[in-house]
């Protein structure tokens, strides 16, 4: 009997080797050759730069290092990597045999009308039957049709996916903190600008009051100057509120309670020049962790579909055991009289499982389709994000040139307006208009510079940088 089972097992194992074990599927997508509106074909990308080489501000580097060490989402993601690492070890051991050691003692009072009870009355004088057992048992599934291999591939893909998910969190962390940091510097600069303009407006108000006392202007001029000064002072609390908000954002991302943030005094627009080292769209597959995460999800889903399919195939298991057995405790450990050995084998073919296996397989195919759709979606989103960042940098730099030229003209205009006003040759309304426009222009320039800095960071992230 054992010989027949082993012969059939050999035939099935040979048949198993003929089944395709192809488990990975190359994901593909129609990726454009270059980014929209940016035709430069260059294989160099800033995404290849480590964080400390792209971000030159040493203060920001310290904040980022602290945040990476303390951020809650990042620490949880690292634990997920450890979990998937343990799952990978588990599946690697799945094709090993199971070995169990068992020691047990049992006493049974048999029914007098049962066969065992009748035989027991004839063989022994007691009303009960003892059974003492000590054994080592072996169980091994020798035919899996590549199911365990598929399980290993799925676990490996999930492990890689967890690593990429951690990198996604890190890139977002770097982006969010850097953008909040640049907003803080912008708000500091705007705060100084408003205070400077308040001093200028107070001087104009003082001059207007002198002219009012001399009968050169009406009370309306004094009121208008006062209103302009109050409007400028009103901006200060708003800026200070936004400063605290951005500081709290940085501290929250860093896993800390709210408090102030040390920062630079100069708003830099990054070290990138107008050439934009963005590389080509195909490099997103290499650098962006969310794309690699989505690709790993496709590979995982494909492997899991293979597992579900192979659960419908027959399996062969071998069993064996060796140990000591006796119905009397005093000779339980008597060797070789108490020694027993067992060996067996079996073939199991699932037939009716309440449609469980078929449904599981169909669901796994649907999950694979979903994973492929998500992969395509992530690629389209990635190209869009790069295009958006490039466009934002380009257009804001154009706006900055215009606004700086405008401010230069406004500086000349306000000097002339104040001089003419002091000599009675210009209206106070001209002074108010010039001062308001200058304040607006100075605040706008700082905001545009901050937007460019933030867009540079966003471009770095969207190209796949920020995790090295």
Q: What CA–CA distance (Å, rounded) separates 277 from 465?
A: 12
Is the pLDDT assigned to residue 274 strictly greater than 70? Answer: no
Q: Alpha carbon 211 to chain centroid distance?
A: 64
Mean pLDDT computed over every residue of the chain: 86
Contacts of 343 (CB under 8 A, 6+ apart): 2, 318, 319, 320, 321
Q: Which position has the higher pLDDT, 41 or 83? A: 83
Q: What CA–CA distance (Å, rounded) separates 308 from 289?
A: 28
CATH class of 101-143+315-348: mainly beta
Residue that is written with structure tokens 């040390």 in the block = 262
Structure tokens at 299: 């590979």
- Angle at the Cα of 302 from the Cα atoms of 146 and 304, rounded to 5 degrees: 60
- Predicted pLDDT at 327: 84
- Segment 374-392 shows an average pLDDT of 94
- Segment 270-294 shows an average pLDDT of 77
Q: Are 368 and 319 in contact (CB under 8 A)?
A: no
Q: Which position has the higher pLDDT, 161 or 144? A: 161
- Predicted pLDDT at 268: 55
- Predicted pLDDT at 273: 47
Is the pLDDT assigned to residue 20 strictly greater than 50? Answer: no
Is the pLDDT assigned to residue 122 strictly greater than 80? Answer: no
Is the pLDDT assigned to residue 267 strictly greater than 60? Answer: yes
- Angle at the Cα of 274 from the Cα atoms of 271 and 279, rounded to 5 degrees: 90
271-280 as b/e: b if 16+ CB within 10 A: ebeeebbbbb
Cis amide bond preceding 396, omega within 30: no
| 23-95+145-314+354-462, CATH topology level | Outer membrane efflux proteins (OEP) (1.20.1600)
Cα-Cα end-to-end distance for the chain? 61
Distances (CA, A) of 344 to 11, 137, 139, 163: 18, 11, 10, 44
Residue that is written with structure tokens 């940091």 in the block = 181
Overall pTM > 0.95: no
- Segment 208-228 shows an average pLDDT of 88
- Segment 260-284 shows an average pLDDT of 70
pLDDT tens column, 35-79: 776 656 566 788 889 998 889 889 999 999 999 999 999 999 999
Is the pLDDT assigned to residue 176 strictly greater than 90? Answer: yes
Is the pLDDT assigned to residue 256 strictly greater than 90? Answer: yes
Considering only CA atoms, which of 177, 172, 225, 219 is closest in space to residue 201?
225
pLDDT tens column, 307-341: 999 999 998 899 999 999 998 888 888 888 899 99
Distances (CA, A) of 117 to 31, 108, 131: 79, 10, 14
- Predicted pLDDT at 427: 76
Phi, psi of 341 (to 5 degrees): -140, 145
Per-residue confidence band for 120, with pLDDT thresholds at 50, 70 and 90 = low
pLDDT tens column, 390-438: 999 999 999 999 999 999 998 888 788 778 777 777 777 888 888 888 8
- Segment 427-451 shows an average pLDDT of 89
- Predicted pLDDT at 7: 56
Is the pLDDT assigned to residue 11 strictly greater than 60? Answer: no
Q: Alpha carbon 87 to chain centroid distance?
A: 20
Domain ranges of the chain: 23-95+145-314+354-462, 101-143+315-348
Considering only CA atoms, which of 348, 316, 368 is closest in space to residue 150?
368
């Amino acid at each position: 009997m054992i010989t027949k089972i082993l012969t059939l097992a050999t035939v099935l194992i040979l048949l198993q080797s003929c089944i395709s074990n192809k488990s990975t599927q190359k994901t593909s997508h129609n990726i454009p050759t270059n980014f929209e509106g940016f035709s430069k074909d260059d294989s160099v990308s800033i995404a290849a730069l480590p964080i400390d080489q792209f971000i030159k501000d040493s203060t920001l580097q310290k904040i980022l290092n602290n945040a990476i060490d303390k951020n809650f989402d990042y620490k949880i993601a690292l634990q997920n990597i450890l979990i998937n690492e343990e799952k990978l070890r588990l599946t690697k051991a799945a094709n090993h045999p199971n070995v169990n050691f068992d020691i047990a003692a049992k006493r049974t009072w048999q029914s007098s009308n049962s066969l065992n009870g009748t035989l027991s009355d004839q063989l022994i004088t007691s009303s009960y039957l003892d059974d003492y057992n000590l054994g080592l048992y072996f169980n091994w599934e020798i035919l899996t049709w590549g199911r365990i291999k598929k399980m290993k591939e799925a676990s490996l893909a999930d492990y890689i996916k967890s690593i990429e998910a951690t990198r996604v969190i890190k890139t977002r962390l770097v982006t969010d903190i850097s953008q909040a940091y640049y907003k803080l510097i912008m708000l500091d600069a705007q705060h100084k600008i408003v205070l400077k303009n308040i001093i200028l407006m107070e001087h104009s108000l003082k001059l207007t009051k002198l002219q009012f006392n001399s009968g050169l202007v009406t009370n309306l001029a004094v009121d208008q100057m006062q209103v302009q000064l109050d409007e400028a002072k009103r901006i200060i609390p708003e800026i200070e509120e936004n400063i605290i908000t951005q500081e709290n954002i940085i501290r929250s991302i860093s896993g800390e309670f709210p408090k102030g943030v040390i920062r630079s005094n100069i708003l830099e627009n990054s070290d990138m020049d107008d050439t934009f080292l963005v590389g080509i769209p195909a490099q997103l597959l290499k650098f962006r962790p969310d794309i690699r995460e989505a690709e790993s999800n496709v590979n995982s889903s494909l492997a899991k579909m293979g597992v579900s399919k192979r659960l419908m195939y027959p399996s062969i298991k071998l069993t064996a055991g060796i140990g000591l057995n006796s119905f009397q405790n005093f000779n339980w450990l008597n060797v070789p009289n108490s020694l027993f050995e067992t060996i067996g084998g079996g073939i199991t073919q699932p037939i009716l499982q309440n449609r469980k296996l078929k449904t599981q397989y169909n669901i796994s195919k649907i999950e694979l389709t979903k994973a492929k759709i998500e992969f395509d979606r992530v690629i389209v989103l990635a190209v869009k994000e790069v295009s958006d960042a490039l466009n934002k940098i380009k257009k804001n730099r154009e706006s900055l040139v215009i606004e700086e030229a405008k401010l230069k003209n406004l500086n000349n205009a306000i000097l002339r307006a104040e001089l003419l006003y002091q000599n009675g040759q210009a209206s106070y309304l001209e002074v108010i208009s010039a001062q308001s426009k200058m304040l607006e222009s100075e605040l706008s320039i700082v905001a545009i510079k901050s937007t460019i800095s933030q867009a540079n960071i966003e471009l770095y992230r969207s190209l796949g940088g920020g995790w090295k």
